[in-house]
Amino acid sequence: MQDQPIIFVTGGTGHLGYALLPTLLAAGYRVRALTRQPERHAWLAKLGEGLEIVRGDVTDAKLIHEAVGGCRYVVHAAAKFAFWGKREQFECINVEGAANVIRAALAAGVQKYVHISTVVVVGKPLDGRVVDETHPTQPVDPYQRSKLGAEQLALQAGRESGLPVTVLRPGAFYGPGGRYAFNRLFIEDPLKGIRIQVDGGNYITFPVYVGDVAEAILSALYHGRVGEVYNVCGETLTHREANQIISEEAGISPFRLNVSGRLMILVARLWTALSEYTRVEPYYPLNLRSYVFNNWRVSSEKARRELGFTPIPFREGVRRTLEWYAAGGLWRRKKRT
């Protein structure tokens, strides 16, 4: 065990970490995972002796420097992800935190640094254009800007300081281990009876099964070219097609109340304004519009070609996600009569 290479992983207990830690351990690595509150994640105890937990976060530069020491690889997956929040919070965690991890990785002389960015650094996809790695980046909200800033820091460190960095840009995570964003909007809300879709469900979404991202990270450690960026996304689906598959797998009505985009934006605008006073994230924040009211035709052809990325079918991913909801007592399939 002591001779196995160590991978330092940030964001070890996030949605991606839930799939990533078991994947890396199963591949024979020792994993040193950073997390703020390990006691809140009982599943960590089931992962075995190959896992070492470091309590803390990426804003603690001294801690990160010490934790990366002795590691052969770094996977930086930690980030503040939310559709609402102050710019300073995103900058502190996503940009300054990434800078801390990058400096520590350079000092440790790691052999590979895999940086987890996001497809949404694009901001607004251009009409009629597929979102590949050459698509212009024009982020439109604080989260997107901070993620692009962090990605640029990593690539700059590669060019100027020799950091052996590979960047992955996943789509919208879904799958076991998370209850936010795509999981909540497309899976959990319909299970609760909140069944709406915007403008007939014609917009194109960009889901990626979280386990597929974990496998892509593992492949990037071996095959990811230094200085390169890879999109990692699943099937191209309209909202209506995604809703239909989810309804069939969950055994619920395919009906969705059609709501106009203008009305939803008005509701989101008012809800977001109210949150300035309540300090509670709105259920439908205004920043959702970039994610929902665009056509995200994302190409992962480069990752397929160079990393062997092969996403599972969306239907299978939904099935596994529903099984996770059921196992956690979060949902129970109704018996057919």
CATH code for position 110: 3.40.50.720
Query: Please, is 306 exposed, middle or buried when counting C-beta atoms within 10 Å of its C-beta (0-12, 13-18, 19+)?
Result: middle
User: What pLDDT is attached to residue 200?
Assistant: 94
Q: Which amino acid is at 108?
A: A
**pLDDT beyond 90 at 97:** yes
User: What pLDDT is attached to residue 337?
Assistant: 38
Is 218 within the bounds of a domain? yes
What is the rounded CA–CA span in Å between residue 106 and residue 252?
51
Is 285 within the bounds of a domain? no
Q: Which of 179, 172, 159, 162 is nearest to 239 (CA)?
A: 172
Is 212 within the bounds of a domain? yes
> What band does 124 get if pLDDT is binned at 50, 70 and 90?
very high
Q: Which residues contact 299 (CB under 8 A, 6 or more apart)?
A: 130, 131, 132, 231, 233
Is 111 within the bounds of a domain? yes
Query: CA dist 100 to 95, 103, 166, 198, Å?
Result: 9, 5, 17, 40
- Read off the pLDDT of each residue in 324-332 and give the average, rounded to a whole number: 89
Look at the chain and report how many structural domains it folds into: 1
> What band does 335 get if pLDDT is binned at 50, 70 and 90?
low
- Per residue in 280-297, pLDDT (tens digit) is 999 999 999 999 999 999
Is 331 within the bounds of a domain? no
- Read off the pLDDT of each residue in 227-253 and give the average, rounded to a whole number: 96
- Read off the pLDDT of each residue in 191-217 and give the average, rounded to a whole number: 96
- Read off the pLDDT of each residue in 114-126 and give the average, rounded to a whole number: 97
**pLDDT beyond 70 at 2:** no
What is the bridge-based pairing of β-strands 6-10 and 30-35? Answer: parallel
Of residues 228 and 37, more confidently modeled: 228
- Per residue in 132-144, pLDDT (tens digit) is 999 999 999 999 9
Dihedral of alpha carbons 101, 78, 306, 297, sign: negative
Residue range of the domain that includes 135: 6-174+207-234+296-312
User: What pLDDT is attached to residue 1?
Assistant: 52
What is the rounded CA–CA span in Å between residue 84 and residue 90?
10
Neighbours of 303 (CB within 10 A): 28
- Read off the pLDDT of each residue in 211-219 and give the average, rounded to a whole number: 98
- 268-275: Cβ within 8 A, 24+ apart: 272/84, 275/84
Is 271 within the bounds of a domain? no
Q: Report the chain's mean pLDDT, rounded to a whole number.
A: 95
Number of residues assigned to the chain? 337
- Per residue in 84-96, pLDDT (tens digit) is 999 999 999 999 9
Is 187 within the bounds of a domain? no
> What band does 147 get if pLDDT is binned at 50, 70 and 90?
very high
> What band does 333 get if pLDDT is binned at 50, 70 and 90?
confident
> What band does 332 get if pLDDT is binned at 50, 70 and 90?
confident
Is 100 within the bounds of a domain? yes
Q: Which residues contact 100 (CB under 8 A, 6 or more apart)?
A: 58, 59, 60, 61, 64, 65
